Structure 1
């Protein structure tokens, strides 16, 4: 099954890989899980509750490999150089999560939406992308996707630059959480 996301499927050659990687301790495959079994219980909790594998949005889908010491070293097929909301909607986070069997993702508030020319425009872009992410989470609902975002606690207050950013964070992040 191919999971379409953001108007296109980018990982057509990748099947659901997690089950293929659960090969056990006798496997010679260096990429296989030797001891991990998501459903096995340890001390009353399943392994997938102890080990919450996640995909970091920025590093996986936005980062270009550049740093303060050098230019970008990689470019993604879904990036068109515009950093527009339309380009953001082509990103492939949820397709990738589903195919890997990973139920968690994290992001920083401005990673998932482009900056606008003004704070108001930036906030509008973020609202639009938050709504899209919310719909995509529903479409591939996994109970483990109920708590996304890596900075949903009060730690976000500590590094907030302006009251407007704080208000936006406190208002928009819970939209992605389920009760």
Structure 2
């Protein structure tokens, strides 16, 4: 038989199907493509000033192709660190074509306990399209799967102390 090919390819975690001798019609379809996670909370409604800080964050990322850049916004509570980070992230979302994954760690929330790392990682896995049944039980395996899914991607993981505290 000429022109007969048997090919399967995928970049995501998927189920493989092996067929011995197919009879009749066979239709296989790939799972729907996951949307790019863009989960930023709404930008601050009234944000002024801080141009020097925004420019400093821009410079930290400029020319960083293929490099992991880690930046931290620090300062006393209530001075606008979260608003600065959100404003910058909205202005620069185009620089992260593979998505933006914020997580509110509730570091200074008066209402809730801080979010455990395992809960944050499971949230990332869900946003990255991993079905709940495919999430490993072991926390180290969850973290490893998360790293696998974001390797070689241009994503902005954005932990914050209190996205809701405005």
Q: Scaled by the length of structure 2, what TM-score is found?
A: 0.29
TM value normalised by structure 1: 0.27
Highest RCO, 1 vs 2 (Cα 8 Å, sep ≥ 6) = 2
Which of the two has higher C-alpha Rg? 2
